[in-house]
Amino acid sequence: MKPRILVTRAIFPEVIDRLAVHFDVDYNDQDVALPPEQIAARLGDKAGAITLLSDRIDASVLANAPGLKAVCNVAVGYNNYDLGAITQAGVMATNTPGVLNDSTADAAWALILATARRIVSADKWVRNGQWKGWKFHDNWFGNDVHHATLGILGMGRIGQAVARRAAGFDMRVIYHNRNPLAPESEKSCNAAWVSKADLLREADFLVLLLPYSPAVHHAVGAAELAAMKPTAHLINVARGGIVDDKALVEALQEKRIAGAGLDVFENEPALDPRFLGLDNVVVTPHICSSTRATRLAMAMLAAENLIAALSGQRPPNLLNPEVWRG
């Protein structure tokens, strides 16, 4: 008899077909998150699960799933997982790093360029029939990206992909991590480690790529925003909660920073409605990894993690190796 698994939300037919070779699949084929109580109920007889970032897996869910062996997130981030509770339950947890690096880096650059050159507001201006003729002086002045300073807070795989793209704009690249990268990694993306204070003070474009955890909640708040240049732009393609959105709205309203490009928000999708009234912010609905090829690769990697986990092999992207009993 095949092990039973749960797929919590609509993914791709190809992935379901791949899973069905190995498992009896309970599939929520609607692209709507299941309520926590439904996830808990449907996990009751399951050996594994493919989850999305909208699915909270914690002690209350695990208590109803005594036979659960693995939960596999279709995301690089896993702040929807209580990893401590999952580990205590002896359940393997995995994520999908690597396959979304380039798509997310591309999207970060789309936000950099859109905010710097006021693309969204200019597009709206034309569509609303307000363009009455070309001007030379004060004609939608934006900020130059070329030769500016790119700052990256959180220089992991995606941060390095963002940094490498800066070479085409002849930018100076600085970054801050708790620990500097190896010299060869710094050289490959032409980046230099600086303190967080120097990063905030010197960056013209500050890209946030920290993985979310309670330790970095509001890592960029009122004090950090006050340390930035008034001409600087903040780009958040990481997770909501890393930025204090209330403080950011106020900084944008008062033009204490020049602009922001945001793909993630606190309490999303119920973002602070004041963002929508600002013309110096570009907002997108958490889509930085959203190309079909990338999302398919993410879902397929989650499937391969689960197949390995339930076949007695170590999953390639195991987050809690202490539970591995190979």
Name the active-site residue from 165, 176, 239, 295.
Answer: 239
Name the active-site residue from 56, 202, 250, 268.
Answer: 268
Q: Give the C-alpha separation, 186 to 175, whole Å.
A: 10
Active site residue 268: yes
Q: Give the C-alpha separation, 31 to 57, whole Å.
A: 18
Strand partners, 13: none
Is the CB of residue 153 less than 8 Å from the CB of residue 196? yes
> φ and ψ at 116, to 5 degrees?
-65, -40
Name the active-site residue from 18, 56, 286, 314.
Answer: 286
Active site residue 146: no
> φ and ψ at 27, to 5 degrees?
-120, 120
Q: Give the C-alpha separation, 233 to 230, whole Å.
A: 9
DSSP one-letter string for 111-138: HHHHHHTTHHHHHHHHHTT---S--STT
**166, amino acid identity:** A
> φ and ψ at 149, to 5 degrees?
-105, 120
- 3-state SS, one letter per residue, for 217-229: CCCECHHHHHHCC
What three-state secondary structure class fits 196? helix
Q: Can you list the alpha helix ranges (DSSP code H) found in 139-227?
A: 157-165, 183-188, 196-202, 222-227
What three-state secondary structure class fits 304? helix
Strand bridging mode 233-236 / 149-153: unpaired
Active site residue 233: no
Residues catalogued as catalytic: 239, 268, 286
